[in-house]
Amino acid sequence: MKRKKFLKRSKKSSSTEMSLNITSMADIFTILLVFLLKSYSVGALEIQPSRGLQVPVALHTDTAESRLTLEIAEGAVQLDGESLVTLKNFELPSGQNTTLNPLAEALANRRAALTDNSQGKLLLIADSRAPYSTLEEVMRTAASEGFGDLKLAVVKAD
C-alpha cells in the first residue's frame, strides 16, 4: 500500500517538467561580456615588469610610447631585459665606482646606434621600494650617456 502511494507521488513529481530560464541567463552573460570588453585593457603602455617588481602608483600620467626600457628591480638593473648590474636588496655594491660601467657601455652602444643626434629616450621601470640613491646613480649614468629624456612607468590609479 505504502509502496503504491510512493510510486503515485513520484509519477506526479516527474510529470512536472522543470525548465531553466535561459533567456535571463543569456542577458546576464551579455552584460558580463559588454563589461569585460569595456574594461579589457589594451593598456596605454605594454610593459612586462620582472616578477615581483612593484611598479609605483600615480594618478596623473602622460601619453605612453614604447622606448628602450631600463628596469631597476630588487636584484638587478636591466636594459631591455638584459641584466647588466647586480643589486643587493635594491642597493648598488658600495665602494665600487665601476659598478655601473656595464650599463654605461650598453647605453653608449645604443646611443651610437641612433641615427639622429636627438637625445636618447628611456622608459624607466623601477620598483616602488627602491631607494633614491640607486635611482640617482642609474639616472646619472643614463644622462651622462645622452639618455636624459625619461618616462617613468607607473600603474594608473583609478
Partner 1 sequence: MISAGDGGGQDFELNLASIIDCLTVIIAFLLMSSSFVSFGAMDTAVAAPQSGAAAAPSSEDSKSVTLTLRLVGEKGDEQVEWEVISGNEGKPREKKTLPRAGLLAELQGAKTRYPGLQGVVLSAAPRVQYQQVIQTMDETRKVFSAVILGVSGS
Residue with cell 635594491: 90
**Degrees to nearest 5, angle at CA 52 with 104 and 44:** 75
Give dist(CA 70, CA 49) in Å, integer.
10
User: Does residue 40 interact with partner 1 by CB under 8 A?
Assistant: yes
User: Does residue 126 interact with partner 1 by CB under 8 A?
Assistant: yes
Contacting range for partner 1; rule: CB under 8 A; set: 9-17, 28-36, 77-85, 101-109: 28-36
Bridge partner residues of 82 (DSSP): 79
The residue among 120, 127, 123 whose CA lies nearest residue 145 is 120
Of the pair 85, 139, the CB lying nearest partner 1 is at 139
User: Does residue 123 interact with partner 1 by CB under 8 A?
Assistant: yes
User: Does residue 71 interact with partner 1 by CB under 8 A?
Assistant: no
The residue among 47, 46, 52, 98 whose CA lies nearest residue 73 is 52
Of the pair 10, 128, the CB lying nearest partner 1 is at 128
Q: Letter for the amino acid at 116?
A: D
In the complex, the smallest distance separating the C-beta of residue 98 from partner 1, rounded to whole angstroms, is 18
Give dist(CA 149, CA 6) in Å, integer.
84
In the complex, the smallest distance separating the C-beta of residue 10 from partner 1, rounded to whole angstroms, is 28
Q: Which residues bind partner 1 (CB under 8 A)?
A: 22-23, 25-26, 29-30, 32-33, 36-37, 39-41, 43-47, 55-65, 119, 123, 126-133, 135-136, 139-140, 142-144, 146, 148-156
